[in-house]
Structure formats: structure tokens, C-alpha cells
Amino acid sequence: MKRTENQVLIIFGASGDLTKRKLIPALYNLYKQNLLPDKFAVLGASRSSFTDDEFRSKVEEFLPAGESVETFKKMLFYQPVQTNKAADFVSLKNRLEEISSDLQMEKNYVFYLSTPPSLYEIIPKLLWANGLSKSKKYFRRLIVEKPFGTDLLSAKKLNVNLLNYFNEEQIYRIDHYLGKETVQNMLVLRFSNGIFEPLWNRNYVERVEITSAESLGVENRGGYYDHSGAMRDMLQNHLLQLVGFVAMEPPVVIEANAIRNETTKVFQSLRPISENQVPRYVIRGQYTESKIKNEKVVGYRDEPGVDPLSRTETFVALKFFIDNWRWAGVPFYIRTGKKLPTRVTEIVIHFKSVPHHLFGSRKSSATTNNQLIIRIQPDEGILLKFGMKTPGTGFAVQTVNMDFHYSDLAGTLVPAAYERLLLDCMQGDATLYTRGDAVEQAWQFVQPIINAWQTNPEIPIYGYPAGTWGPEDSNKLMTNGEWRFPCKNLTDDGLYCEL
Ligand code: BG6
């Protein structure tokens, strides 16, 4: 196991939700597993004027009660910082000096931007101005939360700005999907087995389908979401990263740049969808009022913080191609949405049917085409579907399942995404973080779609009742076959889903 050097993690936006819900619990779990360095401190920073103790009790709500929490809490400190007061950064620097000297530790710092993106320009600048962004002797790293820009232009600007104050090697852009164990497993599944990779191409794969469904709506984030929408919130980042892992060529080594070079090449090969092709390749939708389990559910436009005439998409489905040697001509379908029947993320590789249909018509065997399903969440696992003889007379074929569930690996703890990502950054490993050029490539692909929606109000935004699988028109995207309708349990198919 790699050694983690002593360091201080500085969280900007420490009074926010992400800190309480994800970051502090992830750090606590690392602490319990003895994965934190010998000397370690977290310095929370935000506008609120908490004392260390007040900060400690704020975050406690998301930690289990117990003795180890008491010792863990001693590692937490707090410093009020107003980003419009340059002097506060001098105090921040002094406080960091004080912590390092009290704990007799190196001045290695990881800065975490968990703030509104409007502060992504000023904070790195003030860190740089106070000599905190670079050091000859110690490491200095910057973790940036999404969104990395709201369009191609702002993403480019953000990259230029960050690079004024930190080098690319110091910048860690978080996409928490890459921290998911099952996403990383895709590399292992593909590149540690001899049986999948020979089939993983246009000769054997008929289509690839990715679904990331959420049953929740926008909850209390209407204000943010209404300016974002499913394309910016999920597809441009999380879903395209999944595409990167499914479609990439084998990297030469498992190392940050080798892997990120390969995913970036995938993004470079995405066939552009021009503005006038958008209606043919992209379907957008918005959830409307309905009843789920006999209870009335409000429509998106009635959610708090949402414009009553909003045309923001809460669902998007897309068909596209990857123009390279491996994938030429293979359609990729991806969809994501809020208020769908269940929470599930999965990738389905549909293999081509056999060349000669011995056991029935081409049509019936189309339903038994082999499928490999990679379940990202929940009921994490892998499912392979194939045809078997139905016992009895004749040669009737039925589809059967071969499945593996992570839950069967007794005693193995599947770490939460933030746990893995934080530890990687603390160890200087950027493999599971996105690189600036890849982010720009992903924007390049989605930008014409966003432009078309903005400039052409005639492109429909279909309503879909909350609790259904999105607009019916998303089914028409798929010219050969239909979407898999996944359930909570990996092996259940469609009909009897528990909602
Ligand atoms: C976030 C989005 O990045 O990902 C949310 O902003 C979304 O809108 C969330 O709900 C989904 O993450 P997960 O890990 O629950 O699939």
C-alpha cells in the first residue's frame, strides 16, 4: 500500500452540505481503517464564524456516536474566510503555519473547493498571491468539484484561470462516478479477462446502452438545477466518463496519464451531433405531476426554486457514434433522468445475434441476443444473459442469467466514492480524476446540443409523468431493439420491479 504523507486538508465551503454529508464521513471512514497519515488535520474554511468546537459539533450529525468519533474530531479545525477579504487569506496562512507547528508536521496542503463555482477564480488566485499554491519543499494540490464550467467557453476559461495559479499536475477535478468501485471494476473486467476483450468491438457488439436513472426529483436544489438540467448535471460529466471507460483502448499501464490519454481519445472520436441533427439524436423531457403509490407527486415546474415556465430538461436520451477503428458503426445510447421509476445505473453491452438461426426465426432469437450488464448501482454486479434449451421436446430456446453480485464477496468493504478519491489525491494519484483537456472535449460534444435547445424553441421538451421511464419518444431513438428496463435487483427483468 502507498504511504500517505502528513498533510492538512483545507476545505473551502466547509459549512455546506457536501462537507457534512460526504467529505467528513469519508475522512472518518479512512480514519477508522487507519488510512490517514500519522499527522493529519482538516481545516474547514467558509464565511460562517464558527470556532473549532462549533465546527466539530456541526459535522457530528453525520457521524456515528462513539469513542473513535471523539478522537477523530480532534483533527478538525476551522477558520472563517471571506473570499472578498484578501486579509482573510493571510489569517488562513497563519493558521496553517500554526497547525503545522503545533502538530510538528510538514506543510503539505490539499485545498478542496467545495464552494459555488463563482469562487473558482478568486480562491486559487488568493492562494497563489499568498504563496500557498506552490512550494519547492512541500506538495500543494487543488481539488475542484463540478461543475467545470457551464459550457465550452466557460470550461476553457476556468482551465486557463486555474493554470495561472496551479500546474495541471496539481489540479484534481472530481467526478465522483470515477470513484465508484464498480466503475473502476470496468477496467479490471475488460483488461484482466481473456474472454471479453476479443468481443469488445464492432464485429461482435450490436449496440451499447447506458442508463443512469434516479427516482428522486430535484429535492431542495431546484434553484441550482433549473440553470443546469440533466445534460450539464449528469451527461456531460458522469455519463460521458462511463462511456470513456467502456469504449477506451487498453492503456499501457494503470497510471493517471496513460488512462486519461485513452479516455480523452474516446471523447475526441465522438461523432459530433450538429445543431440541425439534434431532434433526430437527442430527446429531452421534463417530469410532470403524477401519482406514485397513490400519492400525488408534484411536477418539476412546481418544485421550489424552479421557474413555473421552465424549459430545463430533467431527462435526456441520446444516440451517438464513436468514429474510430473499434466502434465504427456501433450505436451508443445513453439516458439519464430524475423521477424515473427506480435508482439504477448500468451499462448494457448487446452482442450481435448468431449468423444463422437454427432454433427459430431471426426475430425470436433477437430477444435472446447475449447481453452483458455491468451494474454500477445498486445491487452492484455483473449479469450475463444467454440462450439455453428449454427442457423437453424440440429445441426451444430461453434466455437465462449468470450473475455475480458484489454483496456475495463476504467481508469486503466497498468504499464510498469520496473515500477512494480523497485518499488517491492525498497520495498524489490522479488516475480517477478528470484532466482539463478531457473536460473540454466532453463540452465540445454536448455544446451544439445545448445551443440547439437554446436557439430553437421548436425542439420539443416532452413531459413525462413522474415515476415513468421518461418520454415515449426516447424509445424511438433506438432503431434496433428497445431499452432494458432495469429494476432495483440486477436480475429482475422489467415486469415486476419494486418501485
Ligand atoms: C450529482 C448530481 O453530480 O450526481 C445530482 O449533481 C445527482 O443531481 C448525483 O443526483 C447522482 O449521483 P449518484 O452517486 O447518487 O448516482
Q: What is the pLDDT of residues 361-371, one digit of tens each?
A: 655 544 568 99
Of ligand 1's listed atoms, the one at least distance from the Cα of 417 is: 14
Rounded Cα distance between 163 and 78, Å, is 28
Least confident interval from 132-146, 333-347, 349-363, 423-437: 349-363
> Model confidence over 366-391: pLDDT tens digits?
456 899 999 998 988 999 999 999 99
The band of 72, judged by pLDDT with boundaries at 50, 70 and 90, is: very high
Indicate if the pLDDT at residue 498 is higher than 60. no
Q: Stretch 427-451: mean pLDDT, rounded?
A: 96
Write out the three cell numbers for 432: 480517477
Q: Stretch 225-243: mean pLDDT, rounded?
A: 96
> What integer pLDDT is reported at residue 62 of this predicted model?
85
Write out the three cell numbers for 228: 443546469
**Rounded mean pLDDT of the chain?**
93
Least confident interval from 164-168, 236-240, 253-257, 493-497: 493-497
Q: Stretch 328-356: mean pLDDT, rounded?
A: 95
Q: Stretch 440-448: mean pLDDT, rounded?
A: 97
> What integer pLDDT is reported at residue 361 of this predicted model?
64
For residue 362, the Cα-to-chain-centroid distance in whole angstroms is 38
Rounded Cα distance between 145 and 172, Å, is 9
Residue nearest (by alpha carbon) to ligand 1 atom 2: 233
**By percentage, how much of the chain surpasses pLDDT 70?**
97
Indicate if the pLDDT at residue 153 is higher than 60. yes
> Model confidence over 453-495: pLDDT tens digits?
999 999 999 999 999 999 999 999 998 888 988 888 888 765 5
Q: Stretch 10-20: mean pLDDT, rounded?
A: 92
Of ligand 1's listed atoms, the one at least distance from the Cα of 228 is: 6
Distance 253 CA to ligand 1 centre (A): 30
Rounded Cα distance between 397 and 455, Å, is 51
Distance 316 CA to ligand 1 centre (A): 15
Residue nearest (by alpha carbon) to ligand 1 atom 13: 177
For residue 115, the Cα-to-chain-centroid distance in whole angstroms is 18
Distance 98 CA to ligand 1 centre (A): 37
310-315-317 Cα angle (round to 5): 135
Indicate if the pLDDT at residue 417 is higher than 70. yes
Rounded Cα distance between 343 and 377, Å, is 8
Of ligand 1's listed atoms, the one at least distance from the Cα of 146 is: 3
Rounded Cα distance between 297 and 472, Å, is 20
Distance 5 CA to ligand 1 centre (A): 31
Cβ atoms of residues 45 and 80 within 8 Å: yes
> What integer pLDDT is reported at residue 59 of this predicted model?
86
Q: Scan for cell 430461453, then name that residue.
A: 398
Residue 284, strand partner residues: 316, 461
Distance 180 CA to ligand 1 centre (A): 12
Q: Stretch 146-167: mean pLDDT, rounded?
A: 95
Task: For residue 194, give the amino acid letter.
Answer: G
Residue nearest (by alpha carbon) to ligand 1 atom 10: 214
Indicate if the pLDDT at residue 46 is higher than 90. yes
Q: Which of 238, 350, 356, 357 is labelled catalytic?
A: 238
> What integer pLDDT is reported at residue 363 of this predicted model?
59
Q: Stretch 228-242: mean pLDDT, rounded?
A: 96
DSSP annotation string for 210-277: EEEE-SS--TT-HHHHTTTHHIIIIIIIIIHHHHHHHHPPPPSSSSHHHHHHHHHHHHHHBPP--GGG
Sign for the CA dihedral angle at 214, 222, 27, 62 comes to negative
- The 10 Å CB-count burial string (b at 16+, else e) for 397-425 is beeeeebeebeeeeeeeebbbbbbbbbbb
* Ligand 1, CB cutoff 6 Å, lining residues: 214, 233, 345
Q: Stretch 44-56: mean pLDDT, rounded?
A: 94
Radius of gyration from C-alpha coordinates of the chain = 24
Least confident interval from 38-42, 438-442, 450-454, 483-487: 483-487
Q: Stretch 189-212: mean pLDDT, rounded?
A: 97
Write out the three cell numbers for 367: 430477444
Cβ atoms of residues 44 and 76 within 8 Å: yes
**By percentage, how much of the chain surpasses pLDDT 90?**
81
Composition of the chain by helix, strand, coil, percent to 5: 35, 20, 40
The band of 183, judged by pLDDT with boundaries at 50, 70 and 90, is: very high
Most confident of 268-282, 390-404, 411-425: 268-282
Of ligand 1's listed atoms, the one at least distance from the Cα of 345 is: 16
Q: Stretch 411-438: mean pLDDT, rounded?
A: 91
Q: Stretch 324-346: mean pLDDT, rounded?
A: 96
Residue 227: active-site member: no
Rounded Cα distance between 208 and 206, Å, is 7
Residue nearest (by alpha carbon) to ligand 1 atom 8: 233
Q: Give, as one character, the DSSP assignment of residue 117.
A: G
DSSP annotation string for 283-332: EEEEEE-EEETTEEE--GGGSTTS-TT----SEEEEEE-B-STTTTT--E
- Pocket probe mutation, ligand 1, options 144, 234, 340, 347, max atoms within 8 Å of Cβ: 234
Element (H, E) at 188: helix 181-191
> What integer pLDDT is reported at residue 92 of this predicted model?
97
Residue nearest (by alpha carbon) to ligand 1 atom 14: 177
